[in-house]
């Protein structure tokens, strides 16, 4: 009664090109799986299993950290904590969305694209959470209340729309122009990361010059930057499976390592943000740099609506094509 018939796995030549991954030869799931089969596939070893769990389990870790903060901080009335609230919400959402995308991406080619549209949207919103927290807690002393500081979050909201739009568009180029698709998708996420991290880079430069004000969090930030670089490197190069196709189909391929590095990097980023929040509070409050509801929760709500709109625009033709392909042809129609 407890036995389950797990879905059959396929080799690369048995699945359509849109489902194939560079250097992955075996362990593919049926490209027309049901939702039930997708869920069951997370319990069997295939080339997506580790991808699913390396983001599903960290979701619970971040939720645990978030719940601990909820019991120790007053998120409702203390406006200074609102950037951290937004950031913690988004670092819980992005790994969960990614885990769901990897789980259900084999229901159909159209569903695969739409699943990853939501994945890209969650990552874009995560970049906004980084910008909100960095703008509130990590901004260099000499930049506080500057033009960049005042416009940092609105620009970041625009970056989320750019990131989601470009990454979603890149999926339509995958089959005909795979290299161009990869370049566009990588650039879509590198650009907001570089923008968000400009304040941190400047603080590190100041520290190298001997002026390390509020340096308690810089070691955590440096570890985050190291893992962010590894994340980008793995995403762009498809190593090590590109060097030995078929050897890393189940364990150790680049996307699994990419997930691990991303989560570890987010952990160190979280530690750095919270350290800056605590150690710089008196100085930031005295400088009149208190966050506003509009610049934190309001910015998140606006970005969420805009990104859902972008995802809807890119998903609409796919859903229409799927509807047409599922509709049986009319009989008895005269030309």
DSSP letters of 34-68?
Answer: -HHHHHHHTTS-STTHHHHHHHHHHHHHHHHHHHH
- Residue 334 scores a pLDDT above 60: no
pLDDT value for 235 = 94
DSSP H or E run through 72: helix 49-72
pLDDT band at 331 (very low <50, low <70, confident <90, very high): low
- The reported pTM is 0.93
Beta bridge partners of 111: none
Contact 287, 149 (CB under 8 A): no
Whole-number Cα distances in Å, 271 to 13, 117, 171, 209 = 45, 29, 34, 24
Q: Looking at the domain covering 50-323, what would its CATH class be?
A: mainly alpha
Alpha-carbon distances of 157 from 106, 120, 164, 258, rounded to whole Å: 31, 14, 11, 25
Q: What is the pLDDT of residues 203-258, one digit of tens each?
A: 999 887 667 766 778 999 999 999 999 999 999 999 999 999 999 999 999 999 99
Peptide bond into 240 cis (omega under 30): yes
Both ends of the chain: CA-CA distance in Å?
54
Residue closest to 165 by CA, chosen among 115, 120, 226, 224: 120
**Most distant pair of Cα atoms in the chain: their distance:** 83
What is the average per-residue pLDDT within 37-45? 94
Tokens of 90: 């988004």
CA–CA distance, 200 with 193 (Å, rounded to integer): 11
């Amino acid at each position: 009664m407890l036995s389950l018939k797990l879905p059959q796995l396929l080799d690369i030549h048995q699945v359509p090109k849109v489902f194939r991954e560079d250097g992955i030869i075996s362990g593919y799931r049926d490209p027309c799986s049901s939702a039930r089969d997708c869920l069951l596939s997370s319990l069997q070893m295939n080339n997506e299993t580790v991808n699913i769990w390396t983001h599903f389990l960290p979701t619970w870790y971040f939720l645990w950290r978030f719940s601990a903060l909820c019991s120790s901080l007053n998120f409702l009335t203390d406006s200074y904590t609102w950037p951290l609230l937004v950031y913690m919400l988004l670092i819980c959402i992005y790994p969960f969305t990614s885990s769901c995308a990897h789980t259900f991406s084999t229901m159909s080619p159209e569903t695969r694209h739409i699943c990853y549209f939501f994945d890209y949207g969650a990552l874009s919103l995560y970049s906004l959470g980084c910008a909100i927290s960095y703008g509130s807690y990590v901004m260099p002393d000499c930049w506080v209340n500057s033009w960049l500081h005042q416009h940092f979050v609105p620009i970041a909201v625009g970056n989320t729309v750019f990131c989601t739009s470009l990454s979603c568009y890149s999926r339509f180029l995958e089959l005909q122009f795979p290299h161009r698709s990869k370049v566009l998708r990588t650039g879509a996420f590198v650009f907001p990361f570089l923008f968000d991290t400009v304040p941190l880079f400047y603080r590190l430069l100041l520290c190298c010059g001997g002026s390390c004000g509020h340096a308690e969090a810089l070691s955590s930030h440096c570890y985050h930057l190291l893992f962010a670089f590894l994340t980008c490197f793995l995403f762009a190069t498809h190593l090590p499976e590109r060097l030995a196709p078929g050897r890393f189909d189940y364990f150790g391929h680049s996307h699994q390592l990419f997930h691990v590095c991303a989560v570890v990097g987010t952990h160190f980023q979280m530690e750095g943000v919270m350290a800056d929040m605590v150690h710089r509070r008196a100085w930031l409050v005295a400088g009149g740099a208190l966050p506003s509801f509009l610049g934190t929760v309001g910015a998140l709500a606006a970005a969420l609506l805009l990104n859902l709109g972008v995802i809807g625009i890119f998903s609409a033709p796919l859903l229409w094509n799927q509807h047409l392909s599922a509709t049986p042809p009319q009989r008895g129609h005269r030309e």
